[in-house]
């Protein structure tokens, strides 16, 4: 299969390329940029006039809900959602049922994903068995089975001695450990940011310092062990400041933010909107602005969707009883574009947060369009606005605070290893 993508605006943040150029794809790889290779004869020509052609998006956190939660979503539905969202690589956290703590489970997931062949799936293994915070998993075995990192998902690791041992053991093999910084005791029973809105609505709060206390613990252990750590879903202004300092101290620390937290704040809870029940909680407008600043100055490396499909019944409950999370794979690009427009950020810099940077954190040679490289590509219309609707979402989870909101950015084609896995024209 040879594909010629012509007349598009090619944006490649790794190669610092942003100009009109044709792309030639053969044998699953980028054959040439600009001029056709000698003797190139395309089986298919995609006219990308007026469209942006960029590396396929890389999502640092997408729950596919398999195994264990097939009533919320299946691998099929969510991989289709990824393709429709222009996402060609995704990392999935270990909070499945059973938890991804055994090589067999990881191999099965990789195999299932491979069969569907709609996106590359990179499992993050559990740091402790069953995420119960006691026994370390066989990290090296899990790595051999395909895990690219280890995490404790959203489950607090209460015992800081276990955390210390886990970071030591991971450092032994130079594994990156992904941690969502939130102190389990301080956040106990909490469902919303401990502030004005939670006070008004009478919702149990999670204080901002539940995050900073956890970051402080992690950073201090990192200083001793030298472990590479990726902090997931930063949510507070103070947290951003701590990461900034730690990075300037030279610690091997990276971090991401969920795309919803870039746009929303506690105010969006409105009258108990369960779609805004997220983990970490939506915090104050000041925190959100600090997250945006952190993204802009590079303190925050990447944006992820933190895709969490939730079935309707689990959202149609009083706020505190509803399940946290929002669907995100198909909104990652539109919401990133919206952020770029609002902050007047050049497109290439915005796209770097969902291509180049996550690739670096995952340790992948991906997120660029160099000649000879795997052709994972997203072709989208940045000017096209459409209204988010449950019907239009491919994900089985229709749970998003952005239902009914008009957003920029429409994916036209997604290519995985040189094959068209999504074509909006067929929708």
Partner 1 sequence: MRNPQLNEKGELQHLLTIEGLPREVLTHILDTATSFVGVTAREVKKVPLLRGKSVFNLFFEASTRTRTTFEIAAKRLSADVINLNIAVSSSTKGETLLDTVDNLSAMHADMFVVRHAQSGAPHLIASHVASHLHVVNAGDGRHAHPTQGLLDLYTIRHFKKDFTRLSVAIVGDVLHSRVARSLIHALTIMGTPDIRVIGPMTLIPSGAEKLGVKVFYDLEQGLRDVDVVVMLRLQNERMRGALLPSAQEFFKYYGLTPEKLALAKPDAIVMHPGPLNRGVEIDSAVADGSHAVILSQVTFGIAVRMAVMSILAGN
Q: Do residues 17 and 372 make contact, with C-beta atoms less than 8 angstroms apart? A: no
By annotation, the residues acting in catalysis are: 306
| Residue with smaller CB distance to partner 1, 146 or 207 | 207
In the region spanning residues 80 to 139, those forming contacts with partner 1, defined by CB under 8 A, are: none
Distance in Å, CB of 237 to partner 1, minimum: 15
From candidates 195, 239, 309, 334, binder to partner 1 by CB under 8 A: 195
In the region spanning residues 135 to 194, those forming contacts with partner 1, defined by CB under 8 A, are: 194
Angle between helices 209-225 and 160-172 (to 10 degrees): 40
Distance in Å, CB of 199 to partner 1, minimum: 4
The conformational region for residue 272 under phi > 0 = left, psi -120 to 50 = alpha, else beta, is left
| Cα R_g (the chain), whole angstroms | 21
Distance in Å, CB of 313 to partner 1, minimum: 6
First and final C-alpha spacing in the chain = 22
Is there binding between residue 387 and partner 1 (CB under 8 A)?
Answer: no
Is there binding between residue 196 and partner 1 (CB under 8 A)?
Answer: yes
Is there binding between residue 285 and partner 1 (CB under 8 A)?
Answer: no
Q: Cα dist. 31→36, 119, 276, 305 in Å?
A: 8, 21, 44, 31
- The alpha-helical segments, DSSP class H, found in 13-138 are 75-84, 103-116
Is there binding between residue 68 and partner 1 (CB under 8 A)?
Answer: no
Distance in Å, CB of 122 to partner 1, minimum: 34
Q: Which stretch binds partner 1 (CB under 8 A): 73-81, 91-99, 158-166, 319-327?
A: 319-327
Is there binding between residue 271 and partner 1 (CB under 8 A)?
Answer: yes
Q: Which stretch binds partner 1 (CB under 8 A): 97-105, 309-317, 351-359, 404-412?
A: 309-317
Distance in Å, CB of 268 to partner 1, minimum: 10
Site string for partner 1, 207-246 (x = CB under 8 A): x---------------------------------------
Is there binding between residue 202 and partner 1 (CB under 8 A)?
Answer: yes
Q: Which stretch binds partner 1 (CB under 8 A): 89-97, 199-207, 334-342, 391-399?
A: 199-207
Distance in Å, CB of 187 to partner 1, minimum: 14
| Residue with smaller CB distance to partner 1, 40 or 272 | 272
Query: CA dihedral in degrees (93, 94, 95, 97; nearest 10)?
Result: 140
Size of the site for partner 1 (CB under 8 A): 22
| Residue with smaller CB distance to partner 1, 320 or 364 | 320
The answer, yes or no, to whether the previous bond of 98 is cis (omega within 30 of 0) is: yes
3-state SS of 227-261? CEEEECCCCCHHHHHHHHHHHHCCCCEEEEEEHHH
Q: Which one, of 94, 119, 23, lies nearest residue 364 by Cα?
A: 119
Six-digit token string for 351 = 């796209």
Site string for partner 1, 29-58 (x = CB under 8 A): ------------------------------
Alpha-carbon distance of 401 to 392, in angstroms, equals: 15
144-148 long-range contacts (CB < 8 A, ≥24 apart) are: 144/103, 145/103, 145/104, 145/106, 145/107, 145/110, 146/106, 146/107, 146/110, 146/122, 147/100, 147/106, 147/123, 148/91, 148/122, 148/123, 148/124, 148/176, 148/362, 148/363, 148/364
Is there binding between residue 69 and partner 1 (CB under 8 A)?
Answer: no
Is there binding between residue 198 and partner 1 (CB under 8 A)?
Answer: yes
From candidates 94, 133, 205, 418, binder to partner 1 by CB under 8 A: 205
| Residue with smaller CB distance to partner 1, 198 or 326 | 198
Alpha-carbon distance of 186 to 181, in angstroms, equals: 12
Label residues 225-256 b or e (16+ Cβ within 10 Å = b). bebbbbbbbbbbbebbebbbebbeeebebbbb
Is there binding between residue 278 and partner 1 (CB under 8 A)?
Answer: no
Question: Running DSSP on this structure, what letter comes out for residue 274?
Answer: G
| Residue with smaller CB distance to partner 1, 207 or 226 | 207
Distance in Å, CB of 320 to partner 1, minimum: 6
| Residue with smaller CB distance to partner 1, 195 or 418 | 195
- The contact set with partner 1 (CB under 8 A) reads 194-196, 198-205, 207, 270-272, 313, 316-321
């Amino acid at each position: 299969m040879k594909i010629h993508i012509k007349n598009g605006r090619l944006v490649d943040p790794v190669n610092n390329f942003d100009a009109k150029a044709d792309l030639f794809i053969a044998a699953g790889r980028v054959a040439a940029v600009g001029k056709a290779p000698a003797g190139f004869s395309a089986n298919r020509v995609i006219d990308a006039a007026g469209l942006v052609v960029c590396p396929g998006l890389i999502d640092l956190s997408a729950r596919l809900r398999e195994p264990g939660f097939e009533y919320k979503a299946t691998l099929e539905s969510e991989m289709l959602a990824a393709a429709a969202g222009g996402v060609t690589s995704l990392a999935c956290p270990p909070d499945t049922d059973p938890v991804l703590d055994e090589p067999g489970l990881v191999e099965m997931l990789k195999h299932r994903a491979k069969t569907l062949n709609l996106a590359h799936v990179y499992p993050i293994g559990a740091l402790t068995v069953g995420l119960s915070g006691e026994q370390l998993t066989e990290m090296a075995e899990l790595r051999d089975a395909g895990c690219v990192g280890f995490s404790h998902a959203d489950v607090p690791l209460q015992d800081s001695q276990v955390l210390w041992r886990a970071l030591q053991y991971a450092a032994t093999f130079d594994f990156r450990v992904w941690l969502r910084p939130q102190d389990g005791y301080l956040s106990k029973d909490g469902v919303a940011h401990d502030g004005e809105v939670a006070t008004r609505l009478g919702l149990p709060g999670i204080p901002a310092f539940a995050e900073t206390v956890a970051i402080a613990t992690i950073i201090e252990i990192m200083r001793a062990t030298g472990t590479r750590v990726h902090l997931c879903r930063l949510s507070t202004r103070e947290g951003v400041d701590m990461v900034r300092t730690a990075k300037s101290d030279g610690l091997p620390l990276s971090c991401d933010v969920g795309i919803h937290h870039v746009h929303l704040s506690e105010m969006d809870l409105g009258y108990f909107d369960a779609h805004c029940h997220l983990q970490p909680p939506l915090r104050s407008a000041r925190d959100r602005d600090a997250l945006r600043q952190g993204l802009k100055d590079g303190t925050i490396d990447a944006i992820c969707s933190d895709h969490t499909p939730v079935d309707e019944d689990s959202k149609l409950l009083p706020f505190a009883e509803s399940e946290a999370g929002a669907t995100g794979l198909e909104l990652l690009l539109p919401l990133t574009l919206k952020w770029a427009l609002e902050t007047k950020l050049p497109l290439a810099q915005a796209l770097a947060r969902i291509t180049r940077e996550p690739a670096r954190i995952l340790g992948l040679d991906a997120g660029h369009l160099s000649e000879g490289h795997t052709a994972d590509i997203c072709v989208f219309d940045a000017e096209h606005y459409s209204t988010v609707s449950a019907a239009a979402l491919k994900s089985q989870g229709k749970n998003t605070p952005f239902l009914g909101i008009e957003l920029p950015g429409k994916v036209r084609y997604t290519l995985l290893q040189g094959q068209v896995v999504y074509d909006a024209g067929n929708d």
